[in-house]
Amino acid sequence: MTGATLRLGTRGSALALAQARWVADQLAARWPGLAVALVVIRTTGDRSQAAGTPLAATGGQGVFVKELEQALVRGEVDLAVHSLKDLPTRLAPGLKLAAVPPRADARDALVSRHGVGLAALPPEPRIGTSSPRRAAQVRAARPDAAVVDLRGNLDTRLRRARTADYDAIVVAAAGLHRLGRAGEVTEYLPVEQFIPMVGQAALGLEARAGDAATLAWVEALDDAATHAAVRAERAYLAALGSGCAAPVAAHATAAGETLTLRAMIAAPDGRRVVRDVLDGPAAEAEALGRALAARLLAAGGAAIIAATQRA
């Protein structure tokens, strides 16, 4: 392996680079003869953020990964590091989710200039987020809240949280931890009430399915429990269908050989939310995700999705 170089593709945001460098450090620790070179690739999602365009208007899920996958297919990089929440449930042909390292804190976090939690915010608080999932769960928890659009990278969002435009913002705890800014968290929101996005706080390491050398190096970083959990979450999302426009969420945790999967489907205004929890064998993660999707759809989720699509 001496002299081998792995080209690692990543987005150029501060968070993406921090994640990529962590992966590079882990690979170097396990394979001392392996050199890792970071290759920064600008994605459609990055351009959309810079222009202030809503992500849904540029294609929704996948806008942060398309160019990275294209670089993999063309052989310009050997490995792509994604925030797994950005990776579509259907990968580009010829590619493989080679590894999922241990997940960071998957909770959402409230950052408030008032220094208090969600329940203690002033009446009719202005709460910033650009996530329909977070917006629906904020409205369900605080029906008096005004959800205000909040875009930009994490540093930009945190800076805006200190202005009078917002009483609080909701962001992913994992991003704050990875950038060394966990001290700015006012409250960690419990997953029972604020179910995370599918794949939240997990990294997805994607490679070409036929690249045996890269797969051998990268699979050493895989965490079986996290990988099983995200398989269940992604199967749940896939079972809802690609046309699902309603806010949805799913989060699985592992205890030994058992997975506990909780999920929800919500109306955008938060007035209708269906939630459920299901346990199952980790070895049957995908079946667990599909089963919970079926239960939620039958419990009213299908009607919520249909109404959202009509709107």
Query: Of 79, 76, 83, which Cα lies nearest the Cα of 96?
Result: 79
pLDDT at 270 > cutoff 90: yes
Q: pTM value?
A: 0.91
Asked if domains 108-189 and 223-311 share a fold, the reply is no
Strands of the sheet containing 248-255, edge to edge, are 248-255, 258-266, 273-281
Active site residue 86: yes
Give me the numbers of helices (H) and strands (E) for the chain, helices first please.
Answer: 10, 13
pLDDT higher for 103 or 311? 103
Tokens 């269906």 map to which residue? 274
- Domain borders along the chain are 1-100+202-222, 108-189, 223-311
| Position 51 confidence tier, pLDDT thresholds 50, 70, 90 | very low
Q: How far apart are CA 256 and CA 205, in angstroms?
A: 24
Give me the catalytic one of 25, 46, 78, 86: 86
Q: Does domain 1-100+202-222 have CATH number 3.40.190.10?
A: yes
Instruction: Quote the tokens at residue 198.
Output: 């599918």
Mean pLDDT for the stretch of residues 276-298: 98
Alpha carbon distances (Å) from 254 to 104, 125, 257: 14, 36, 7
Mean pLDDT for the stretch of residues 229-241: 97
| Position 21 confidence tier, pLDDT thresholds 50, 70, 90 | very high
Q: Which CATH class is domain 223-311?
A: alpha beta
pLDDT at 243 > cutoff 90: no
| Position 308 confidence tier, pLDDT thresholds 50, 70, 90 | very high
| Position 63 confidence tier, pLDDT thresholds 50, 70, 90 | confident
Q: How far apart are CA 139 and CA 162, in angstroms?
A: 21
Instruction: Quote the tokens at residue 161.
Output: 């949280």
Please list, in sequence order, all residues whose beta carbon lies within 8 angstroms of the beta carbon of residue 195, skipping any fewer than 6 positions away: 137, 249, 250, 251, 262, 263, 264, 275
What pLDDT shows up at residue 205?
A: 98
Alpha carbon distances (Å) from 271 to 120, 152, 172, 241, 249: 21, 28, 23, 22, 16
Query: Of 100, 87, 102, 98, which Cα lies nearest the Cα of 212?
Result: 98
pLDDT at 2 > cutoff 90: no
CATH of the domain spanning 108-189, picked from 3.10.129.10, 3.40.190.10, 3.90.850.10, 1.10.260.40: 3.40.190.10
**79-117 residues labelled b (16+ CB within 10 A) or e (exposed):** bbbbbbbbbbbebbeebbbbbbbebbbbbbbbbbeeebe
81-140: pLDDT as tens digits: 999 999 999 999 999 999 999 999 999 999 999 999 999 999 999 999 999 999 999 999
